[in-house]
Amino acid sequence: MNELKGLALNNPLNIRKTNERWIGESLSPRSTVWMDYEDPKWCYREAHRIIMRHYVEGKTLVRDIVDRWAPAADGNAPEVYALNVCRRIGISVTTPIDLPKDMPLLLHAMTIQEIGAYPWDNDNAILEGIELDTPPQQEPSAPPAPRQDLESGERLKWEEPLPTAVPQGEFTKEEMPPAPPTPALVLGNLSSKVLLAPLVGAAAGWLASKGLVLTPDQTESLMSLAAMGLTWVAHYWNEHTQAKLAFLNGEAK
C-alpha cells in the first residue's frame, strides 16, 4: 500500500484486515483489504499488541520479527526490510533489540519502511498507541505505620481484654485459696474396707439378731454401698465448706 493510502486509512504500518473487530477500527471502513482506523494511535496499539504477544516469543532480533510481519510469501524482502529498520534504529542486524524499551524506535523505523516516510514531527501517536496496549501498573501500597504503642510494650486500648465480672463473695482463679483436705481425699488414701468394717459389722450383727444372716457376697455388696454413701457425703461436705469459706473471705475482703 502506498503512502497516501496508508495515511488516509490511519494505517501507517499497512496492517491487513481480518475477520476480527479491533478497538479503534473505523465504523465505516474504506477498504476491504487494509485496516481503517479512526486514529493512527490505534494502528500502533495493534502493532504493539501483535509484536509483543505473537511475534517476539523470546526472540529479540529485528529479523525474527520482520520475518513474520512482512514475510517473503507476501512479496516482501525480509532481509532488506530488517536491514533498513536496524540502520534507522542504530543497531546491526545481529544485535538484539531491547523490547519493550525500544518499541517506539522499532515502530518509527517500520513506519518509514512501510509507507516511505514518517509523516509526523513527533512520536505521540506511537507512544499513545503503546500506552493503550500497556496495562496500568499498580502503585505499591504504602507500608503500615509503625505501632508505637506495641513497640513500647503497651497494648492498644481497644485490644485490652474485656474484664471478667466476678460475682460478689466469690474469688477469681488467682485469688481462690487452696481447698482444705476432705474425707473423700482421705478415703482415697486408705483402704475403704478398714474404715467401713466396723460399720458394716454392726449392721450385719443387727440383721443377724433379726434372723437374717448375710452371705459373704451380700456383706461385700453392703460394704460397697456404704463406701458410695460415704463418698457422696464427703463430696457434699467439701462443696459446702468451700462455699462457706469463700463467702466469709469475700465479706472480709
Give the C-alpha separation, 39 to 21, whole Å.
15
| Integer Cα distance of 242 and 253 in angstroms | 16
The confidence score (pLDDT) of residue 252 equals: 44
> Which residue has better confidence, 148 or 185?
148
CB 95 within 8 A of CB 89: no
Answer whether residue 193 shows pLDDT above 70. no
Percent of the chain with pLDDT over 90: 42
- pLDDT recorded at residue 115: 92
Confidence tier at 20 by pLDDT (50, 70, 90): confident
Residue 77: the pLDDT is 96
What does the alpha-carbon distance between residue 12 and residue 206 come to, in Å, rounded to a whole number?
Answer: 125
* pTM of this structure: 0.53
Q: If you average pLDDT over every residue of the chain, what do you get?
A: 76
pLDDT band at 194 (very low <50, low <70, confident <90, very high): low
DSSP assignment letter at 12: T
Quick check: 48 and 107 in contact, CB under 8 A? yes
**pLDDT of 155 over the 90 cut:** no
Residue 40 has pLDDT above 60, yes or no: yes
Query: Which of 49-58, 59-68, 173-182, 217-226 ranks highest by mean pLDDT?
Result: 59-68
Task: For residue range 74-94, list pLDDT tens digits in order.
Answer: 999 999 999 999 999 999 999
Cα distances from 108 to residues 116, 117, 137, in angstroms, run: 11, 9, 25
Quick: pLDDT tens for 216-232. Answer: 777 667 667 666 666 66
Which residue's C-alpha cell is 482506523?
37
Amino acid identity of residue 115, one-letter, is I
Contact 60, 69 (CB under 8 A): no
The band of 208, judged by pLDDT with boundaries at 50, 70 and 90, is low
* Greater pLDDT, 218 or 11: 11
Q: What pLDDT was estimated at residue 50? A: 92
Burial of 162 (0-12, 13-18, 19+ CB in 10 A): exposed
- 171: cell is 474469688
* C-alpha dihedral, 185 to 190 to 194 to 195, nearest 10°: -20
Higher pLDDT, 21 or 202: 21
> Please, what is the end-to-end C-alpha distance for the chain in angstroms?
103
Task: Residue 175: name the closest of 184, 185, 167, 186 by CA.
Answer: 167
Does the pLDDT at position 68 exceed 70?
A: yes
Does residue 251 carry a pLDDT above 70?
Answer: no
Task: State the pLDDT confidence band at 21, using cuts at 50, 70 and 90.
Answer: confident
